[in-house]
Chain A
Amino acid sequence: GIQVEQSPPDLILQEGANSTLRCNFSDSVNNLQWFHQNPWGQLINLFYIPSGTKQNGRLSATTVATERYSLLYISSSQTTDSGVYFCAVERSGSARQLTFGSGTQLTVLP
């Protein structure tokens, strides 16, 4: 199956700092999603981004499908950004199944 690797596994930031999270995948993908799992366990859709660049407020994401990676940028981080960020991909021809990475645990300190 497809391998999805996220880095770094853990990240601690001071409020106001910027960060970049990376997702590498081992095969061609049709689709890619970024999620934020908040401290209450809920999965929140951040981006649906099989290719290209998108921005939503302080967050933006870029996927370079030909090079098999995606980046999530968080600018001016806030304590509410804390949680786990997951990348999930749908391998080409996989019957629409998502394969998740192990996540990046982000802690933003006040």
Chain B
Amino acid sequence: NAGVTQTPKFRVLKTGQSMTLLCAQDMNHEYMYWYRQDPGMGLRLIHYSVGEGTTAKGEVPDGYNVSRLKKQNFLLGLESAAPSQTSVYFCASSYILGLAWSSYNEQFFGPGTRLTVL
């Protein structure tokens, strides 16, 4: 049981290049999330997905796109990378136990991808 894995671990891009980050989870979780962490700050939500085929915007979605074609995978795309997107990217997943808004929702994180845009 690998939990949440992310590919690649490190990447350097030039301004204007594109790339896709892959997140995979083997816990059969419904919810998946992409966050970014900038130096000295907590994580901020980019996009999330509440199930296969569905995605939604988070706090900082501009410049990113996502897709959830399979339940276990969540892809984060940068179409035209900018230096402001230099960050560490974390993927997370969770399952919701119960239907109420207050139901259990513990998120589990992958190891992160360190991206530098020159």
> A interface vs B, CB < 8 Å?
1, 4, 30-31, 33, 35, 41-43, 45, 48, 50, 86, 88, 90, 92-93, 95-103
**Taking the nearest CB of chain B, how far is it from the CB of A40, in angstroms?**
8
Chain A residues contacting B27 (CB-CB under 8 Å) are none
Q: Is the CB of A92 within 8 A of B102?
A: yes
19 A-B residue pairs with CB within 8 Å = A4-B42, A30-B101, A30-B105, A42-B112, A43-B90, A43-B109, A45-B108, A48-B104, A88-B107, A92-B101, A95-B48, A96-B96, A96-B105, A97-B48, A97-B59, A98-B107, A102-B40, A103-B41, A103-B42
In the complex with contacts A30-B102, A92-B102, A86-B90 CB distance below 8 A = no
**Shortest distance between the CB of B114 and any CB in chain A (Å):** 8
A96 pairs with B50, CB closer than 8 A: yes
**Chain B residues in contact with chain A, CB under 8 A?**
31, 33, 40-45, 48, 50, 56, 58-59, 88, 90, 92, 94, 96, 101-109, 111-112, 114
Distance in Å: Cβ of A33 to nearest Cβ of chain B: 7
A31 to B98, CA, bound (A): 13
Residues of A within 8 A of B41 (CB): 102-103
By Cβ-Cβ distance, the 6 closest A-B pairs, closest first, are A100-B42, A43-B109, A48-B106, A30-B102, A100-B43, A96-B105
**Complex formed: what's the CA distance from A41 to B109 in Å?**
11
A41 touches B106 (CB 8 A): no
Residue numbers in A under 8 Å from B90 (CB-CB): 43
Bound state CA distance, A90 and B43, in angstroms?
13
